[in-house]
A and B are shown apart, each in its own frame.
Chain A
């Protein structure tokens, strides 16, 4: 007699035969984009659609004395010329504050400026015509009389008593201030063997999405409904805000997001000109299209990272870091952005400085000031690049001061891998990080010792190469702690609905959105794996507030971790429902059955029972043949939000290898490495590509990108010829490795990966440049590291 086979240990819902989890599979539906058959908002045309062009202030700060549109209104194709005053009857102003950012203040902002323009590029009138070209022609015929006012441009003097106050009602130019004092900072500094200080300067830069912001708003007066086609990362947020300020119910507003030509945080906000476009559609009772041109993009897409941060670190001779201290100053433009506010970045800097390290003593001050420049707000990796560059810059300077290798000082100070769960002096809570494992893996990948040898050899030949290391932590999977608690109607939960269609395929609606990260792919991978059907039979629908469950969308590295878990739970529920029906049909129990490759099989031996297609046929068309009392539910919906940890922190470490030409100041990036830990990896290739893309955005900030304003508040390089972005020739190959510490808070275990690359790239490059310049006794703590900055530091110019 043969013994029955031992029952195998039950597999997790992810670890099933033919699972797509952890597999590199191509994203679905790429052909549409590759054949030029996608539908970006800029491609959309509707019957009776008119085009709006905004006339924008040429001054950084000016009183609008008068607007004469008579001539423009007579021009061919012109439908209307609308001023801020006129539009204020249709759309109410807003104030970009959140209650949990105590003291944050801002002034009411209008869709189109009323009486006063506060930055160069603020819209002062809208010209609507039957074609964009006609609207542009007519805009030239509008005469605006301005009375120029003093512009506040330098953040360092914004708070001086002699500096004009931009919004008199606010009393001063201080938008927000936060201080923090944890541990015994003074004692820690006095107990240090060395204290190192530096001023870190960051260039204001922006997202430069290849498709500019674009929007089609379509008010149907008979239906009393507004449909907004917009490339937004957060459709339900747009729905809420549009309804709120147009005096509508949310049910009257539908937001549709089709293909989005790049986003990176640029398209997660509500811009004044977008609000104006919704309002114009309502006012003029027809579809209105707005597509920013490139000059408008530079002048109005949110900028970010305009910070000056004084940093201080205390160090013992044995390499122990005793304390960090920072004083951060940032200028955000004339208004706090809506609805996420412009205080979040500075707040993040305070939260994140020193984050990877065990030192418990930390003091911080951050001040956020108004100025007459374009608005600043959240752009990919919000605050992280600042915090990481300051922290890692200080750590390297400290290592240099005590003559310790930069890797060794990190080994001695990074939070131990077995110390979790634990917290940071700023109050962050870490569930499980892997700094040391990540650093060890990085050392192996880059062959650190060999590079050091090579560096030393080349130095003898007057070739100056440098290695820069940067450890980092990243905020992902935010709970309501980010926005909800501050009163913003920005959902932190996401929902997924899955249903079996009549041919046994799966239709899945998710509230996360797609801008190219792979939201559609990761959702299909999870649904296919958990249910037991091929991915090709899962169709994922996103970006439509009329049809998807309610949810936050895709930002703050949350899509996979939150939307992915909702998909997992919804599919588990659907699977249970299907198996119960199958059991009733087959006169078995649900536990005895499984689904594999789209077929109901015996759980024990995998023997085929019948296809899902057959089950769907019976349920939908011959329910009369089902046993009595069975009411099949071939659709299931689940929502998910993290509750235990406010954020699922991830960690990682980056390294840069580069060469500095000390004659020209040019920096050649030779190689870049990243090891990061985003928990469960759903699709390795997609994660790696998120990391690479993120790194390159950070490299742009490190070397090229800066919005250059003159002292009058004029943006002098608002075009792609003068504002430099990384192109294929400047970028090195990037090796990516992983350590995997899943979050235990969800069954999926995934944390975010979208911003890790951007968080640490500039810090690694800056540290590598200073490493390369070590023989010259020069340190630079300013980005972008242009040839001018390098040569100035070297005393060559």
Chain B
């Protein structure tokens, strides 16, 4: 087995230097090395979406990417998005609409929803359902999540200059 490799990257705006085995995936790196446990692991093969994070501006499945592939890049996790205030309104809509129950899918769901809202100011319910269709939620049945994302889109439009 190849030994640890040095990587340097930015995580939530902070520089991180580490030595990691090449086989270590990004989700495990974030959770076990950086203790950013808001990135969850559900299926470990890219289906459930629970490990969704943003890498260089794009959302990716952290379980399908190796930590070494993030070398030189910029990673944002739910902790970073929360602290920067980027998704405060979306989180408030989730809270008011009870768009989470156990909350295990929620960080990734917020990540995916914010990605849609960044691309589309006026998504239809079908657009929202389509964009979130790679994020599994067993608790809610999705309707409350769709409602919360729709509400946030509407509020952002009304605030836009």
Binding site for B on A (CB under 8 A): 26-27, 30-31, 33-40, 42-43, 45, 133, 207-212, 259-264, 293-294, 515-518, 685-686, 689, 692-697, 719-721, 725-729, 731, 733-734, 757
Contact = CB atoms under 8 A, between A and B. Distances in A.
5 contacts: A36-B107, A40-B40, A692-B143, A720-B47, A731-B143
B102 to A, nearest CB: 4
B72 to A, nearest CB: 24
A294 B45 contact: yes
A26 B98 contact: yes
B71 to A, nearest CB: 20
Contact of A261 (B40, B78, B129): B40
Contact of B138 (A262, A518, A733): A262
B110 to A, nearest CB: 7
B144 A517 contact: no
B95 A30 contact: yes
Interface of B: 21, 23-24, 31, 35-45, 47-48, 50, 77-79, 82, 91, 94-98, 100-107, 110, 125, 128-130, 132-146
Nearest to A731: B142
B137 to A, nearest CB: 7
Give the residue among B38, B43, B135, B138 with the most A Cβ atoms within 10 A. B138
A685 B37 CA distance: 29
A35 B91 contact: yes
A210 B95 contact: no
A503 B41 CA distance: 41
Given A30-B95, A685-B98, A35 B38 contact: yes
A516 B102 contact: yes
Nearest to A291: B41
Contacts of A721: 45, 47
A629 to B, nearest CB: 48
A282 to B, nearest CB: 25
B104 A262 contact: yes
B113 to A, nearest CB: 11
Nearest to B83: A35
Contacts of A210: 40, 42, 48, 50, 102, 104-105, 136-138
Give the residue among A34, A262, A294, A734 with the most B Cβ atoms within 10 A. A34
A363 B101 CA distance: 40
A207 B102 CA distance: 14
Given A36-B39, A211-B42, A30 B103 contact: yes
A727 B136 contact: yes
A42 B139 CA distance: 19
A35 B110 CA distance: 9
A686 B101 CA distance: 9
Given A36-B79, A689-B101, A719 B142 contact: no
Nearest to B99: A689
Nearest to A208: B138
Given A26-B95, A261-B40, A725-B138, A516 B103 contact: yes
A30 B99 CA distance: 10
Give the residue among B39, B101, B110 with the most A Cβ atoms within 10 A. B101
Contact of A26 (B96, B136, B141, B143): B96
Contact of A689 (B31, B40, B98): B98
Contact of B98 (A133, A208, A686): A686
Contact of A695 (B95, B107, B110, B141): B141
A597 to B, nearest CB: 22
Ranked nearest first, the 4 interchain pairs of A and B with the lowest CB-CB distance are A36-B38, A33-B103, A516-B101, A261-B104
